Structure 1
Amino acid sequence: MPPFGSRVVNLRIPGPTPCPPDVLQAAAGQMLNHRGPEFGAILRRVTDGLNWVFGTTRDVLSITTSGTGGLEAAVVNTLSPGDRVLAVSIGSFGDRFGNIAAAYGADVQWYKTEWGEAADPAEIARRLDADPAITAVLVTHNETSTGVTNPLQAIAAEVRKRDRLILVDGVSSVSSIPCPVEEWGLDVVVSGSQKGWMVPPGLAFVYLSDRAWAAYERSRMPKFYFDAKRHRDALERNQNPWTPALSVYFALDKAFELMRAEGLDRIYARHREVAAYTRERVKAMGLKLVPVDERYASDTVTAVWWPEGVDGRALARRAREEFGVVLGGGQGKLEGKIFRVGHMGWVRQEDVRDALDVVERLLSEARAAASA
């Protein structure tokens, strides 16, 4: 893992994720003219890489913003105030997606599961059949707050059968978990640079289908910075409409070299293997996974319940301060009750092993102290 100050930190949060040294070196490059041909060539290569990973022949937009900004772009470019939408939430980030739509005046209908559960495609179909006024479905592919991956392909099939738009938060899935946007019939898919792409925060990636572009023409939500047409028109000239995060583009250009060398199939397999190792290891420690059904456990983040009687915050603090292992904590109603192990992007099994060795040691000490 890269150095932080004078220490080596094993960063095991679900984003921002560690970056390879070559990527960090690329990010340190000198600034250049963002309207000149040199950056235009970088933007074209990066866009080709995005199209490759998303699985599309249509150019994916890259916007200087966070993943949340990308979700806002998804909403304002396809919806209008008063549109009825179904927000499918299985955790904190599903709530956020729906709340963004509500903030812009959408009539949000909620389908919420218990945290730890995946959404049921049949229930989504039932709700769409019961309410023909629903125009779009908002869904999180991979919910990092609970470590659960929704059955997106099956959900998308039900949505498309009923001719509704499907807007997908793929912030922590695309590039690490298969999400072929055209093959699955997805309309808008958003990802963020700080997750599986192995680069720093600063860019959101937004795919829009032909159906989404048709919805753009009908959309009446206010938009300026996130206006997708401004970004598409600029991209046709190999530019951004606004000043871009040049350093993140430099990093992403290098990251795509590494990703192409490894290959998408191997990248996905590596994530599956590391995730399976993580789950088996925590279960062997006598710990319980947050996902209710392990079939839907995420390949990019593992969420684990702290044992009863253990001060999880104190253990996580010791892991960070004494061993340089930084774990993700719980969000919302799970704060202090769970820890999360991020394993996406530039990650090997050894990175997770070392982190879990520390967790196991600290838990053993805590249990021994409790029984003394």
Structure 2
Amino acid sequence: MSASAQIVLRKKRNSKGLYPLAIRITKNRRSTFKHIGHTIDLEDWDDKNLKVKKSNPDADSLNNLLSSRLSEVRKGLMNLQSENTDFSAGQIKRNIYKPISSLTLHDYAKEHLDNLEAEKKINRLTTDTALTTYIWVFHRSKNLRFQDISERWLKKFKTYLLGERKLSETSALNVMVLIRLLYNRAISDKVVSKDLYPFGKGGFQIKFPETHKVGLNKKEILIFENVENITDVERHALNVWLYSFYFAGMRVSDVLFTRWSMIYDGRLHYRMSKNGKLVSLKIPIKALAILKSYEKDRLSEDDFVFPEMKKADLSNAKDVYNKTRTANYKFNRHLKTLTKKTKITKKVTMHIARHSFGNIAGDSIHPLMLQKLYRHTDLKTTISYQANFIHKEADEALNSVIDF
């Protein structure tokens, strides 16, 4: 069956009460739409003659534009049909609207990775480099045009990631998030038409599965605090973990970069590595005890509190990243041993210090205060995070039903 194209007014009203003008492309009873970027009142549309009525002050220019766009589409259809190739409506749309630029997804990916390296965001650079590799292996080429990335292509790619590459749902979607980021940049640069955007409503939707965050409770924290007969390396790993916990789940990279010069007036002053925000927190008595146990190794006022960064080449972002990653790996290994010795059944890693703080905070601390402690930009992030640990109301509701 041959394809057809027709001018239409889409019956999808926007927030201003106006309706979008578009070209409808139909093949095998399936349609796709090419919006021309203009909207009108419903009463200004001549549904019989498929044009804008004179009641609209821009009727002449809009009708000329519609005629021109319709001519472009029909010419494209004729070219495709002359090649005797069977195209779907969606494929017709992608092939008719040629890219304004020859830049590909690989070009944007390389620019993205180069920027991360220049900004010394090595953790993100390492992760995103690995994610892009999946794309090139699946496509079997680095020459992937934006108009070739359709909803169908994304679904097939996700199936490949989950099946052949055995990625988790979250990891597979992280690849999609990166593609979406690069696609949006290409649209912003007018490299590809926004009409071909394959994500969002009506396209490929990225919905991450809910995660279950587990943190230690007060009893388990007390067991950790009072554990005896452990090795020096285990004690050090535990000190770093507890230090993180005492400062509202401080990230391991920030813990390791704590300098003695950051500690004054009974407070810890530091800048978060993740978002650059300044933090000033009163030093809890328990954290002060940990700091005193490392004071004997202080070489200068600007020396690091913990030893891991003392031999790092601070001018080399990759060296700093590697030493941080290695330290985190060692801490987690020793924490695993500690959980066996203390008979704590939960998995404990450095990041669990943050979950443990959230678990104990529960619904006893106002979300605005927790937002300040976590240094979240958006309160919604704090509320969403704490939702993993607040169970009191649900528990009481359950008991009210079954407690008889």
TM-score band (shorter)? under 0.3
Q: Which has the larger radius of gyration?
A: 2
**Relative contact order, higher structure (CA 8 A, sep 6+):** 1
User: What is the TM-score when the length of structure 2 is the normalising length?
Assistant: 0.23
Write 1 or 2 for the structure with the bigger share of helix. Answer: 2
Pick the structure with more strand per residue.
1
